[in-house]
């Protein structure tokens, strides 16, 4: 009796499954017949994709439940225009989980930062939406009266840290552009360059300047970008791309969609700090580097990179930050609103623009960005824009702080010395020793 009941149950399940698949196939067929005519480019992209090859159709990704916040009725069924990491995670579970833990998923939190504040007050909401939020992502707003329920105030938006109605964070199609979702595209630096470029985070430009970029662009046809398996040192070896270093597989590391998993420093804030678990993350990145470089080369790069970050922190970032705290504590700024005083813009650009370029240039071996677009401008703005503005405030505590720094800090004393003395100090190695002592004290060698 029990076996008979089990048999009937299996038959029933299979029958219902067959019905469900038939219904899905009919719905998918309707999608394709219609969209082939009204949006042929979209249809052709899907047709050329691995999704099409594996019979993943429109309804598999866009199908929705009636209770979903962004669901609407269309051609007899419920669908959603928006496809989120939660939707993609039905098939790509591990990738969706890693995206959810990544820095990319948190990029939408810019809504609470000074970047967004500036865009809104100095520019206006339209520029915040079409500028900042287009890369970082925004909270997707629902408009029940809209035909597809997505508000024009926040859609279209494929920002990497988009805040979706289903609670998920991120947008897979920021890198895997719809509707072909070509893996070779996501492996190329141009894809990352949509957002990682410009005055405050010019990773694209730095990469193009670096030897890595030089070799990639002159040997792109040797990169095997369309391969299913893409292991550095095995499937390609000419050059790395952004994906190679931050995401792609090595002989001993799997692909990861957590882009912070190999980053040891945080280079975004005014003062850089090591990331949580930074030693393991650095080991993860070194594991990529040693496919093309020796241990000595890799260790030397990190020694130089660390020295640059500590130099930037100690010589410019920490003193400038301390002065700004004094001025705000003493209410010495003329206007009360943030960014309504010259000195606030100067300080912002020192760390947010020039300081980031300096640090990213050193991280990615882009010498021009480390110096001419970076530390050169940090120094110029610090000494000849920032410090004079401090003195204009008349704040005696802040002025005493910078006078003491210029007089007693060996990294700043050069301002009161003669050119002959300084050249002699460079030739003898005395000047260089000042910075070596500072760096080695930071890493525990002093």
Q: What does the alpha-carbon distance between residue 178 and residue 184 come to, in Å, rounded to a whole number?
A: 13
> What per-residue confidence (pLDDT) applies to 5?
41
Q: What does the alpha-carbon distance between residue 199 and residue 348 come to, in Å, rounded to a whole number?
A: 12
| Domain spans, the chain | 82-181, 295-442
Mean pLDDT of the chain: 92
The pLDDT tens digits of the residues spanning 137-162 come to 999 999 988 888 999 999 999 999 99
Question: What percentage of residues in the chain have a pLDDT greater than 70?
Answer: 93
Q: What does the alpha-carbon distance between residue 349 and residue 351 come to, in Å, rounded to a whole number?
A: 5
Instruction: Look at 32 and 282; give whichever has higher pLDDT.
Output: 282
Residue 266, phi then psi, degrees to nearest 5: -100, 120
pLDDT > 60? residue 3:
no
- Say what the pTM is: 0.89
Contact (CB, 8 A) for 265 and 309: yes
Indicate the DSSP class of residue 232: B
Q: CA end-to-end span of the chain, whole Å?
A: 82
pLDDT > 80? residue 24:
no
> What per-residue confidence (pLDDT) applies to 443?
83
The pLDDT tens digits of the residues spanning 198-255 come to 999 999 999 999 999 999 999 999 999 999 999 999 999 999 999 999 999 999 999 9
> What per-residue confidence (pLDDT) applies to 446?
58
pLDDT > 90? residue 402:
yes
> What per-residue confidence (pLDDT) applies to 21?
45
pLDDT > 70? residue 169:
yes
> What per-residue confidence (pLDDT) applies to 421?
96
Provide the 3-class DSSP secondary structure of residue 82: coil
Provide the 3-class DSSP secondary structure of residue 161: coil
> What per-residue confidence (pLDDT) applies to 76?
86
> What per-residue confidence (pLDDT) applies to 112?
79
Contact (CB, 8 A) for 96 and 86: yes
> What per-residue confidence (pLDDT) applies to 8?
38
pLDDT > 80? residue 442:
yes
> What per-residue confidence (pLDDT) applies to 110?
81
Contact (CB, 8 A) for 398 and 332: yes
Q: Rounded mean pLDDT of 266-271?
A: 96
Is beta strand 72-74 parallel, antiparallel or unpaired with respect to 265-266? Answer: unpaired
> What per-residue confidence (pLDDT) applies to 30?
84
pLDDT > 70? residue 339:
yes
List the one residue out of 280, 276, 275 whose CA is nearest residue 253: 280
Q: What does the alpha-carbon distance between residue 89 and residue 261 come to, in Å, rounded to a whole number?
A: 20
Q: Rounded mean pLDDT of 162-168?
A: 96
The pLDDT tens digits of the residues spanning 74-126 come to 988 999 999 999 999 999 999 999 999 999 999 998 877 888 899 999 999 99
240: which 2 tokens? Answer: 């790395």
Q: What does the alpha-carbon distance between residue 351 and residue 316 come to, in Å, rounded to a whole number?
A: 9
Q: At what angle do helices 419-428 and 430-442 cross, to 10 degrees?
A: 60
């Amino acid at each position: 009796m029990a076996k008979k009941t089990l048999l009937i149950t299996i038959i029933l399940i299979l029958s219902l499954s067959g019905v469900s698949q038939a219904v899905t196939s009919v719905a998918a067929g309707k999608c394709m017949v219609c969209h082939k005519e009204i949006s042929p480019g979209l249809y052709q992209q899907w047709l050329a994709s691995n999704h099409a090859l594996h019979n993943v159709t429109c309804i598999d990704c866009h199908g929705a439940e009636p209770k979903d916040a962004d669901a609407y009725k269309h051609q007899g069924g419920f669908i959603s225009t928006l496809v989120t990491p939660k939707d993609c995670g039905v098939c790509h579970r591990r990738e969706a989980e890693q995206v959810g833990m990544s820095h990319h998923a948190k990029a939408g939190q810019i809504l609470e930062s000074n970047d967004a504040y500036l865009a809104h007050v100095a520019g206006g909401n339209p520029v915040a939406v079409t500028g900042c939020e287009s890369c970082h992502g925004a909270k997707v707003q629902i408009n029940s009266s809209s035909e597809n329920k997505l508000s024009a105030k926040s859609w279209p938006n494929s920002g990497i840290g988009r805040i979706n109605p289903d609670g998920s964070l991120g947008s897979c199609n920021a890198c895997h552009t719809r509707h072909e979702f070509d893996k070779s595209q996501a492996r190329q630096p141009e894809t990352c360059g949509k957002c990682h470029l410009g005055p405050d985070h010019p990773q694209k430009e730095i990469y193009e300047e670096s030897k890595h970029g030089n070799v990639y662009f002159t040997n792109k046809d040797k990169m095997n970008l369309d391969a299913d398996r893409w292991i550095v040192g095995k499937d390609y070896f000419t050059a790395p791309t952004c994906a190679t270093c931050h995401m792609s597989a090595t002989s001993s590391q799997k692909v990861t969609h957590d882009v912070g998993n190999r980053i040891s420093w945080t280079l975004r804030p005014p003062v850089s700090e090591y990331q949580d678990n930074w030693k393991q993350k650095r080991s993860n990145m070194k594991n990529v580097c040693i496919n093309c470089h020796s241990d000595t080369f890799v260790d030397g790069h990190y020694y130089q990179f660390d020295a640059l970050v500590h130099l930037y922190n100690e010589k410019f970032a920490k003193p400038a930050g301390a002065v700004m705290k004094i001025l705000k504590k003493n209410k010495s700024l003329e206007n009360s609103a943030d960014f309504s005083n010259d000195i606030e813009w100067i300080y912002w650009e020192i760390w947010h623009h020039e300081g980031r370029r300096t640090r990213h240039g050193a991280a990615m071996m882009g010498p021009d960005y480390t110096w001419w677009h970076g530390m050169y401008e940090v120094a110029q703005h610090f000494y000849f824009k920032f410090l004079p503005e401090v003195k204009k405030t008349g704040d005696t505590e802040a002025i005493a702080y910078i006078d003491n720094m210029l007089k007693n800090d060996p990294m700043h004393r050069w301002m009161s010395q003669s050119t002959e003395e300084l050249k002699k100090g460079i030739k003898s190695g005395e000047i260089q020793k000042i910075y070596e002592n500072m760096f080695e004290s930071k890493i525990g060698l002093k």
